[in-house]
Structure 1
Amino acid sequence: MNFIIKRRCFATLGMAFILALALVLQVPFASKAEAAADPLGVKAKSAILIDFNSGQILYEKNADKVYPPASMTKMMTEYLVMQALHAKKITWDTKVSISDYAYQVSQNRSFSNVPLKKDYQYTVRELYEAMAIYSANGATIALAEKVGGTEKNFVDLMNKTAKKFDMTHAQYINSSGLENVDLGKFAPYGDANGSNKLSARDIAKLAYHIIHDYPEALQISKIPLKNFTAGVDAPIQMVNWNYMLPGFGENMAKFTYDGVDGLKTGHTDLAGYCFTGTVNRDGHRLISVVMGTSSDAQRFEQTRALFDYGYQQFTEKTIAKKNQVIKGQKAVSVHNGKKDQVAVAFGAAYKTSIASGEQVSSDYKVVLNRSKLNKDSSLEAPVKKGEKIGYVTISPKGKSQYGYLYNDNNKIPVVAAEQVDRSNWFVRLFKGIGSLFGSIFSWIAGLF
């Protein structure tokens, strides 16, 4: 009996030892798998790194998981204010009145704010700078109400624009990024615990559009320090929350990164510390997003790691130059032209990021615009030099990364490489007669 019990005990201990050993052995393999999936080990809930010029995604981590963006919400407000300025619906000098909502939020100095007065009118520029530099919430709400009429209308416009930009996970419920528990009775949408929700990929798309559509926004986002003087008894120094910008002096030197000129930080207890950064070195621009880091310093440390990775591990290479004839592509026939065909060229320059030290060739797939062509796939003269006649898809042959931010990022316009004038009526007449006789002779030959 004792022998049986001992055997059972040894068997149990043996099984426990085997299980423990298996668990110990599993750890290194799991770590290796994780390291392979995430070469940087970015300490953030989610992150993404974009090459702006090509739209290539160089790195991503949980890029489609949805989190609160905190004040990175304001990037959409910035975009829509810029859009209203370009549409001439407002100007930088347009006066903005302050509602009770914007006033009350602006008085809470536990948030990022400049205190606003209800009996004072501010210019769009004054409020925009307070929003973009100091992340002022009251100023943001005032701008949203000016552009949208009400913040609720403005939020509808935010979501409509997000859909247009294919920000598939974006759900805006306010213009500032504060949570509804902070906005209380003023919250335009959502329940008492509601907050905006976006993914890192969504935010990268928005940053891409801000820089592409309204690059002048960077002239404001890169200002490190500025005094707010409108409607206050004494100037309020607005310190940009983006400590990677140059101009903060020795105290912030550890965060400074050469070439950084934007874009927006964010922080709430729910969101953690977030940052959408952009850096430009000799025309090579990167965009990064980190969400849910654990400290103010960490969001910049992780962004630095992303920027270093982008610049050290990748090299920007020009694949196509504007007006460069596309090698290996057949010329397009021209009907009724002084020339019978026209060569095709790239309508824009195109650069791509390749892994450092790698030689990359590319495949070109030209697609002509059918609406530009005759039934026989010829162009009708006259054809202007530089006239857009289709597009080319560039597929670099090299180390694959994570694809593109947008599917059409690697599409370039195709244009006519030269001008082909229309031949005169006399030439066209004889060409028509020749074509007719050719058809008749072909018909007769077919009879025999």
Structure 2
Amino acid sequence: MSKKFWRHLATLAAAVLLGFGGIATTSAAAPVAAAETSVAINAKAALAIDEASGKVLYAKNADTPLPIASMTKMISIYLVLQAIKNGDLKWTDTLTPDSGIYKISQDTSLSNVPLRADGKYTVKELYQASLIYSANAAMMLLGNGVAGTQVKFVDMMRDQLKKWRINDATIVNATGLTNNALTADRYPGTGENDQNTMTAKDLAQVAQHLLKDFPEVLDTTSIPTMTFRAGTSDATRMDSFDWMLKGLISARTELPVDGLKTGTTDAAGDCFTGTVKKDGHRIITVVMHANGSKTTRRFDETTKLMSYALNNWKQMTVLKKGQAIKGATDFTVPKGNTTSLKAAADKTITLWVPKSTTAQDITIATKKTAIVGKKNELEAPVKKGTTVAGLTITVKGDTLGYVNGGKTETASVKLAHGTAKANFFVLLFRGIGDFFSNLF
């Protein structure tokens, strides 16, 4: 039997047990890890980042492309929300499946809500089915609503990834299914066994863009159960495959998870891109092909990963706006109306750092700009806000960098005031004064 069959069976069993109150949500998942210097995530690849800055908090094989299954739908849903924002699609618009999409919707071995060949479905209900129940035919139908055809929609997905500078992804369909599950609408030139692949870093960036541009997606990804076509003969209960949501089998009170997307195929294994907001900070985690025998394995590994990131990192202010920087604070302007100017850091920088980090572990390297002469001299005139030095901040022992490829944080040293060039007579009398002062 297929992996999808067993996954649906496990979901049903979990729902039944929860209905009878037979599972305590505080003990079903792996215990929250205590603060430690490292953690072993039992998966082919894993990543944790700070959502706001993209700071990498944990990485394992994060640059290795792997099958992503239905985590693909984060890209597809981004394009749907973008079309709605741009006015190209409305929540109340209705869509009717073509024969290929209808046939896929009837395949009970796949995640689906059943669609009627002549049915009309609102964008809103298809969107909810795609996110909560990972409904493949519903996602394909939305793709048609956005682009007209599956091929054009895949082209849009590829273009969007390029805009995000994600260049090592392979996208062949809108859902994450292996191509052999598609009876129609297969992308030209792709093979029967082709599937979507990305790296953990790629997926984290997709999730980051989705949350930044459309935070309302969490209103839907946080729903543990919903009925598709409620009140009709087609009513289908949709239990979220994200078992870390409140009230479900892998939920933890210490980790208020509210999204994002699971994924499962034979090649991808059990995958999950998750997100949690705690103490005012949101982190994103990616677990690809979780290992182990438990049906909760991807959530067990995600629990370990989220707990590690939250327990072993802290935010630390390493630079304050207006801070004087050694060797780049006092500047002279021999030919200026004002001959002495001060400079300071142009912004406050707060970084995620390992919890053991102290001020002694922070290095601020200074590189003066080309306008600065010997002995910190400047040529008049010079404007307020002129950058006189660049700063590079590094943290001892932290080599993880940022998900977008950056390794360090930077800032600038800028002049607090400027000065015009002194006129001829001021310079003349200043020169005479200097001459006589040097005689004595």
By the TM > 0.5 criterion, same fold?
A: yes
CA RMSD in angstroms comes to 4.0
State the one-letter code of the partner of 1:405: V
In structure 2, C-alpha distance between the alignment counterparts of 1:150 and 1:88, rounded to whole Å: 19
State the one-letter code of the partner of 1:400: D
Asked whether the equivalents of residues 179 and 192 of structure 2 are also in contact (C-alpha less than 8 Å), the reply is: yes
**Which residue is 1:29 aligned to?**
none
Cα deviation digits, residues 227-283 of structure 1 (max 9, x gap)? 2227943532221111111133xxx15666522121110011221111111122112
State the one-letter code of the partner of 1:362: I
SS at match of 2:182: helix
| 1:55 maps onto 2:48 in alignment | no
**Which residue is 1:274 aligned to?**
271
Going from structure 1 to structure 2, the CA distance change for 1:199 and 1:103 (only over 3 Å counts) comes to same
Aligned-pair CA distance for 1:203: 1.3
SS at match of 2:403: coil
**Which residue is 1:201 aligned to?**
201
Which ranges in structure 2 are unaligned for 5 or more consecutive residues? 1-36, 372-377, 433-440
**Which residue is 2:169 aligned to?**
170
| 1:293 maps onto 2:290 in alignment | yes
Aligned-pair CA distance for 1:85: 3.2
Going from structure 1 to structure 2, the CA distance change for 1:117 and 1:414 (only over 3 Å counts) comes to farther
Going from structure 1 to structure 2, the CA distance change for 1:216 and 1:367 (only over 3 Å counts) comes to farther
Asked whether the equivalents of residues 178 and 194 of structure 2 are also in contact (C-alpha less than 8 Å), the reply is: yes
**Which residue is 2:63 aligned to?**
64
Going from structure 1 to structure 2, the CA distance change for 1:331 and 1:224 (only over 3 Å counts) comes to farther
167-176 vs 203-212, greater mean Cα deviation: 203-212
Going from structure 1 to structure 2, the CA distance change for 1:101 and 1:339 (only over 3 Å counts) comes to farther
Asked whether the equivalents of residues 48 and 283 of structure 2 are also in contact (C-alpha less than 8 Å), the reply is: yes
1:407 to 379, 386, 405: 405
Going from structure 1 to structure 2, the CA distance change for 1:52 and 1:346 (only over 3 Å counts) comes to farther
In structure 2, C-alpha distance between the alignment counterparts of 1:94 and 1:381, rounded to whole Å: 56
Between 1 and 2, higher relative CO (CA 8 Å, sep ≥ 6) is seen in 2
Going from structure 1 to structure 2, the CA distance change for 1:270 and 1:337 (only over 3 Å counts) comes to farther
In structure 2, C-alpha distance between the alignment counterparts of 1:128 and 1:312, rounded to whole Å: 35
Aligned-pair CA distance for 1:341: 5.4
State the one-letter code of the partner of 1:204: A
In structure 1, C-alpha distance between the alignment counterparts of 2:83 and 2:413, rounded to whole Å: 33
Q: Trace 1:342-353 onto structure 2 (pairs within 5 A).
A: 343-347=343-347, 349-353=349-353
**Which residue is 2:243 aligned to?**
243
TM-score computed with the length of structure 1 as normaliser? 0.72
SS at match of 2:89: coil
SS at match of 1:285: strand
In structure 1, C-alpha distance between the alignment counterparts of 2:298 and 2:277, rounded to whole Å: 19
In structure 1, C-alpha distance between the alignment counterparts of 2:157 and 2:370, rounded to whole Å: 35
Going from structure 1 to structure 2, the CA distance change for 1:369 and 1:124 (only over 3 Å counts) comes to farther
Cα deviation digits, residues 279-308 of structure 1 (max 9, x gap)? 221123222211112453111111111112
Asked whether the equivalents of residues 336 and 380 of structure 2 are also in contact (C-alpha less than 8 Å), the reply is: no
Aligned-pair CA distance for 1:86: 3.4
Asked whether the equivalents of residues 272 and 299 of structure 2 are also in contact (C-alpha less than 8 Å), the reply is: yes
Going from structure 1 to structure 2, the CA distance change for 1:438 and 1:71 (only over 3 Å counts) comes to farther
In structure 2, C-alpha distance between the alignment counterparts of 1:340 and 1:154, rounded to whole Å: 61
Asked whether the equivalents of residues 354 and 360 of structure 1 are also in contact (C-alpha less than 8 Å), the reply is: no
Cα deviation digits, residues 83-129 of structure 1 (max 9, x gap)? 33333433434443433333222222321112233444433332222
Aligned-pair CA distance for 1:132: 1.4
In structure 1, C-alpha distance between the alignment counterparts of 2:254 and 2:319, rounded to whole Å: 30
**Which residue is 1:396 aligned to?**
395
| 1:219 maps onto 2:216 in alignment | no
**Which residue is 2:108 aligned to?**
109
In structure 1, C-alpha distance between the alignment counterparts of 2:342 and 2:179, rounded to whole Å: 61
SS at match of 2:184: helix
Going from structure 1 to structure 2, the CA distance change for 1:133 and 1:337 (only over 3 Å counts) comes to farther
Q: Trace 1:41-440 onto structure 2 (pairs within 5 A).
A: 41-189=40-188, 190-229=190-229, 232-233=232-233, 235-248=235-248, 252=249, 258-294=255-291, 295-320=294-319, 323=321, 325=323, 327-328=325-326, 329-330=328-329, 343-347=343-347, 349-356=349-356, 358-359=358-359, 361-364=361-364, 392-397=391-396, 399-408=397-406, 410-411=408-409, 431-434=422-425
Cα deviation digits, residues 355-412 of structure 1 (max 9, x gap)? 34655543345789999xxxx78887586xxx99997543223x22422212347445
SS at match of 2:215: coil
Going from structure 1 to structure 2, the CA distance change for 1:341 and 1:292 (only over 3 Å counts) comes to same
Asked whether the equivalents of residues 96 and 121 of structure 1 are also in contact (C-alpha less than 8 Å), the reply is: yes
SS at match of 2:183: helix
State the one-letter code of the partner of 1:139: A
SS at match of 1:184: coil
Identical amino acids, percent of aligned pairs:
34
State the one-letter code of the partner of 2:400: Y
Aligned-pair CA distance for 1:76: 1.0
SS at match of 1:288: strand
Going from structure 1 to structure 2, the CA distance change for 1:405 and 1:377 (only over 3 Å counts) comes to farther
In structure 2, C-alpha distance between the alignment counterparts of 1:369 and 1:220, rounded to whole Å: 49
In structure 1, C-alpha distance between the alignment counterparts of 2:74 and 2:381, rounded to whole Å: 44
Query: Whose helix proportion is higher, 1 or 2?
Result: 1
Aligned-pair CA distance for 1:327: 4.2
Structure with higher Rg: it is 1
In structure 1, C-alpha distance between the alignment counterparts of 2:147 and 2:429, rounded to whole Å: 67
